[in-house]
Amino acid sequence: MASSHPIPTDPLPAIRTCAILWTDRINSTATGQSHQIDPPREKPVPEITPFHAAHAAELLPRTLNPFRWFARWLRNVPIDDPLEWRNAPMLQILLLILCIFFPLSIIPHWVTRGNQPIDWPSEVRNLFTMSLFWFCFWLVRRGRFKFSTGLFIAGTLVLMSISYRHHGLKAELALQATQIYPLVLGGLLMGRRALWGITLAMLAMLGMGALVDNYEGDGNTTMAIINFIRCGLGFVIVAVILDRSVSALRETLNLANLRGEDLLRIQKTLQQEILEKERSQAQLIQSQKVEAVGRISSGIAHDFNNILGVIMGYASRPDASDSLPVATDSLDGIKLAAQRGAMAIRRILSLGRNESSTLELIDTRTVVGDMLPLIQQIFGKRVVLRTHLTDDALPVHINRSELELTLLNIATNARDAMPDGGTFTIAATAEGEHALISLTDNGLGMSAEVRERLFDLFYTTKPEGLGSGIGLAVVKRFVDDAGGRIEVLGEQGQGTSLRIYLPLFDGQNESSAIVSIDGLHVLLVEDDEALRALLAEALRAAGASVLAAGSNKEAIKLARQSEQLDVLISDFHLPDATGNDVIEQVTSMYPALHCLIISANESLTAVRPAHGLITQVLAKPFAPARLVDAVGAMVSSKLERIA
């Protein structure tokens, strides 16, 4: 099938146009105009609220232990004040004891009463007392702690005053130990003013009882006064002790509350400071990212401007169309410059590589020899390139593209280290179980401090805009991943020598020979029209029958119309889908199809379908002949299924 977009017979004008467009794009990227920096998102400051005692019982652990369940039940009261909430269980226990044991204490009296007449005032007082206890307990369960406490103490004082008025002080002396609890409850639960008010009320009751003993009793005034002083002094001493203890306790509690409030304020301040520091750190990281992007962009712009200048220079030679040797020389120069651009792009992509790259068995000596023309173009005429390559094969199991990128990075640094020209020597020999690649220049050399930081990411000694600081970091990563080592020799002003040791491959080469693709039916999916035409023409020139599509929709349509398909070649990033989508849909029609994805990152896991499909990845950019070789190797080898 003939291509609808034939290749122009004179490619030089088109190359000039592409070079100018790429120059404008790179310069705009280097100035940072295309980067939009989003401000760091602020995290909301958590609101710090004080502890609510009414909900504290819900925080207690649930249990089947009856005693713990009872304690939980006593604390489960709707009281907001934390101090009252803590005192509520004690008051409830006291009221429960009185509610239960007071009726029990009356039972013996009813049993032994016999035929005696009912003392109605006493029975009414007992009924009132039991009702008071149960009502106060109900008030506490309803959350009315203060009202219940005040009512209980007031009712108790009323009952005590009635008893003193009826029986006198002497008859109540045996009950002094039990009559002190209103005083204790008032001091503990109602405060200092209530404590002394209750104390005065009890002294008044004692005085009333003493008067009853003096006028209605035996008339012993002296004994009545002694009883009043003795009982009153005991109540006053208890009141003084309670007053000082409760005052000290409340002062301590107030100090603790103030300290707690201070701690809450300090905690809130610290949280605010932490958030500020996080925002500052995020801004710092963002600025470092921007700085790194700017540094990389300026370095790329410098390199690509040089590369595009070479392309534009070769493409603008006025005598290229008249002389075949000149045109051939121009195209060779453009080809080498394009290879330099591809290497620069791979230098950037290799920084983000987390997965293992594609390994292949190569001859180190052959790779170095193939790279010599490109390295010579980097040096130009100012630097003399010398080589020393062994006659023996140096097989290593590595990624060829990364080795080529390593040689290019070191050669570029050596060129910058020899601004006035010099000599660069490349040697490839065997040393023990390693293939040794030695790269030496007689340039400016480096100090010990520079040697120590030589492989740090983004570290460069070049002026701003002339270096990105990533080249040698990529070299170090490649050597480490290959299981080798790298040595740096040289002093300031005495040149530099880098010695790369790569482990020699000791196995057998089991790869199959690349077969011809003549007669294969290929479906090519590539959204770039010019690249699609070039690749399709190269595949047709090798004897394949090619169907070319620019989108997933068009590819599915061609696949349905075709009677036979052997190979699917798809770009990963398409306008309406990904390469995975194309593979899954086309292989549903042709299960035995060989699949090849062309992507900017050959180690990208995302381009590998997760359904066990036979697939390979070829990294962009590449020459059309490389695609032909990749297809031939793919259909002639036994590929492993990807899980």
380-390 confidence digits (pLDDT tens): 788 888 888 88
Q: Which domain, by its residues, includes 100?
A: 53-109+120-271
**In this structure, is residue 2 part of a structural domain?**
no
* pLDDT number for residue 497: 85
Do 206 and 241 belong to one domain? yes
* pLDDT number for residue 610: 45
Q: Is the pLDDT of residue 525 over 80?
A: yes
Do 582 and 456 belong to one domain? no
Cα 25 to chain centroid distance, Å, stands at: 34
**In this structure, is residue 211 part of a structural domain?**
yes
User: Which comes out higher in pLDDT, residue 117 or 309?
Assistant: 117
The pTM for the full model equals 0.43
Do 480 and 552 belong to one domain? no
Counting residues of the chain whose pLDDT is more than 70, the rounded percentage is 70
The band of 6, judged by pLDDT with boundaries at 50, 70 and 90, is very low
Least confident span in 65-69, 468-472, 494-498, 622-626: 468-472
Q: Is the pLDDT of residue 613 over 80?
A: no
Q: Which of 252, 205, 247 lies closest to 228, judged by CA?
A: 205
Q: Which of 401, 410, 522 lies closest to 472, judged by CA?
A: 410
User: Which comes out higher in pLDDT, residue 126 or 328?
Assistant: 126
The band of 391, judged by pLDDT with boundaries at 50, 70 and 90, is confident
Separation in Å, CA 427 to CA 362, 366, 371, 548: 17, 12, 13, 45
For residue 578, give the amino acid letter: T
630, 544 in Cβ contact below 8 A? Answer: no
Last residue of a domain, one of 271, 288, 312: 271
Least confident span in 167-171, 311-315, 506-510, 554-558: 506-510
Question: What is the pLDDT averaged over residues 514-531?
Answer: 83
Residue 347: give its domain's CATH number: 3.30.565.10
555, 537 in Cβ contact below 8 A? Answer: no
**In this structure, is residue 474 part of a structural domain?**
yes
**In this structure, is residue 426 part of a structural domain?**
yes
**In this structure, is residue 283 part of a structural domain?**
no
At residue 116's C-alpha, the angle toward residues 114 and 122, to 5°, is 110
**In this structure, is residue 1 part of a structural domain?**
no
* pLDDT number for residue 324: 67
**Backbone phi, psi, residue 61, to 5°:** -65, 140
Mean pLDDT of the chain, nearest integer = 75
* pLDDT number for residue 601: 59
**In this structure, is residue 307 part of a structural domain?**
no
Do 76 and 194 belong to one domain? yes
Q: Is the pLDDT of residue 313 over 70?
A: no
Note the pLDDT tens digit of each residue in 325-357: 666 766 766 766 676 666 666 655 555 554 445
Q: Which of 216, 237, 218 lies closest to 164, judged by CA?
A: 216
Q: What is the CA radius of gyration of the chain?
A: 48
Question: What is the pLDDT averaged over residues 310-328?
Answer: 65
Q: Which residue has the tokens 């590998």?
A: 608
Q: Is the pLDDT of residue 100 over 60?
A: yes
Do 225 and 356 belong to one domain? no
**3 state SS for 451-510:** HHCCCCCCCCCCCCCCCCCCHHHHHHHHHHHCCCEEEEEECCCCCEEEEEEEECCCCCCC
- Give the whole-angstrom CA distance, residue 394 versus residue 359: 16
Question: What is the pLDDT averaged over residues 74-98?
Answer: 84
The band of 266, judged by pLDDT with boundaries at 50, 70 and 90, is very high
Interacting residues of 338 by C-beta distance below 8 A, sequence separation 6+? 307, 311, 621
Do 487 and 579 belong to one domain? no
Do 97 and 193 belong to one domain? yes
Do 499 and 528 belong to one domain? no
Q: Is the pLDDT of residue 248 over 60?
A: yes
Do 411 and 544 belong to one domain? no
User: Which comes out higher in pLDDT, residue 418 or 10?
Assistant: 418
Burial of 333 per CB tally in 10 Å (0-12, 13-18, 19+): middle
Q: Is the pLDDT of residue 129 over 80?
A: yes
210, 203 in Cβ contact below 8 A? Answer: no
584, 339 in Cβ contact below 8 A? Answer: no
Last residue of a domain, one of 503, 537, 563: 503
Q: Which of 306, 204, 409, 342 lies closest to 619, judged by CA?
A: 342
Do 481 and 537 belong to one domain? no
Last residue of a domain, one of 447, 474, 503: 503
* pLDDT number for residue 30: 47
* pLDDT number for residue 310: 64
Question: What is the tally of structural domains in the chain?
Answer: 3
Question: What is the pLDDT averaged over residues 611-617?
Answer: 61
Q: Which helix (H) or strand (E) holds 522?
A: strand 521-525
**In this structure, is residue 439 part of a structural domain?**
yes
Do 74 and 215 belong to one domain? yes
Do 499 and 532 belong to one domain? no
Supply 546's token pair.
């090619």
